[in-house]
Each structure stands twice: as C-alpha cells, then as structure tokens.
Amino acid sequence: MSSELIPGVLEVITGPMFSGKSEELIRRLKRARIARQRVVCFKPDIDLRYHRTSIASHSDQTHAATTVANVERLREALYPQLDDVEVIGVDEVQFFDAAIVPLAVELIALGKRVIMAGLDTTFAAEPFGAVPNLMAIADTVSKLSAVCMVCGAAAIHTQRLGQSQELVVVGAAGLYEARCRAHFHPFTDEHGSEQLELTPALDTPGES
C-alpha cells in the first residue's frame, strides 16, 4: 500500500479591513484545537497593534501567534516543530513577501492544513502582495465583506482616511474605513469626503 502523504489544503480568507478575516481565522483555529489538532499561527511583525504573541480581531477575539519578521523567519520558526503541527494559520499575510507562495505549496505537499488571512486589495484598490497568487492556488477562498461606513451596504474596499500614500500605514479605526464600491475613493481628503470625483489611476512614476 502507498505510504504517500495525503495532500494538505490551503484556505484563503480575504476581503477588506473589518470584514472579519481575523475573526474567521481565529474561529477555524479554535475549532481545529477542539478537534485536538495541533495548531500554530504566525503574523508579520509589521502588525504590532495588539500583541507580539497573539493575533486579534477588531471584535477582541484572540489566538496565540508567533510574530516573525519575514517568510524566512517564519520558516525557521515553523520547521523545527513541523512534524508536530497539523494546522498552520497566518494572519495579515499581505505583508509577507512573495516567498510565502512556495512555502504554502510546500506545506500543502507535506499534508498540512494551511489557513491564510489577509487583505486582497490595498487602499488604492490594487491587488495586495502575494494574496492574489495565494487565492489562485487555494483550495478554498472565503471572500468576506465588511459593512460600508457611509451607507451600510456590503463593503469590498478599504478606504484610507488621510493623506498618506504610503502602502503600509498600520492602524485601524480612525485611519481606515470599510466602503462599498459607490462610496470608495482611492484618493481622498482627510475626512474621506464624498465630494471627490472617483479619480482614474494617477500616473505612476516609472510607468508609461
């Protein structure tokens, strides 16, 4: 009889800020633990909003997690304990570099259940980091919506409030809002003014 490993799975949980990605990740990890599976969770150290040793949702659900600087560090922290681990969670996966994709492929091949949660788009509504690639290779993709803070409709966008055009400004309430398509403005004034026209993509330096 074959002694081949049963292939693992990749589950991606995605959507805008406040859509419940972390809540859903935490829910799945807790259920796995109830089923007596051994669970580990990681997050990038860019997200220090709450705690270095846990992930947290905006609704104050938490789960133990190890904070790592990059994919290489994640690998170093994970591999020594890999034989004892069945389920691997990663939150804020959009902040990891492209090496997260081959790592996911490897873990799937080793029979692990890998659950990755992260933003699908940036505040400019562009694909965020490796998340689209992870979605492409996933067994399941749960695309969650938040509630639009202007009208209450389903929100697929993350609206940045304020002027900064840097890709990464970590924070939550007050800096970002969930918005539906109608109320999302890629570039906006300090208060997310609804007066602005939807601006077509601005010229990006270095591109023609």
- Residues serving a catalytic function are 92
Q: Indicate whether 21 belongs to the interface with ligand ADP (CB under 6 A).
A: yes
Q: Indicate whether 22 belongs to the interface with Mg ion (CB under 5 A).
A: yes
CB of 75 to ligand ADP, least distance (A): 24
CB of 63 to ligand ADP, least distance (A): 11
CB of 149 to ligand ADP, least distance (A): 5
Q: Indicate whether 59 belongs to the interface with ligand ADP (CB under 6 A).
A: yes
Q: Indicate whether 94 belongs to the interface with Mg ion (CB under 5 A).
A: no
Contact range with Mg ion by CB under 5 A, out of 13-21, 60-68, 81-89, 124-132:
13-21
Strands (E) located in the chain: 9-15, 39-44, 54-56, 62-64, 66-68, 87-90, 113-119, 140-143, 146-147, 154-155, 157-160, 176-179
Residues 126-145 within binding reach of ligand ADP (CB under 6 A)? none
Q: In sequence order, what DSSP letters do the residues of 18-74 get, joined into one string?
A: TSSHHHHHHHHHHHHHHTT--EEEEEETT--SS-TTEEE-TT--EEE-EEESSHHHH
Q: Indicate whether 17 belongs to the interface with ligand ADP (CB under 6 A).
A: yes
Nearest-angstrom CA–CA distance, 55 and 88: 13
CB of 57 to ligand ADP, least distance (A): 3
Q: Indicate whether 18 belongs to the interface with ligand ADP (CB under 6 A).
A: yes
DSSP 8-state secondary structure symbol assigned to residue 95: G
DSSP 8-state secondary structure symbol assigned to residue 94: G
Going from the C-alpha of 8 to that of each of 4, 172, 200, the distances in angstroms are 12, 33, 41
Residues that bind Mg ion (CB under 5 A): 21-22
Residues that bind ligand ADP (CB under 6 A): 15, 17-23, 57-59, 146-147, 149, 178
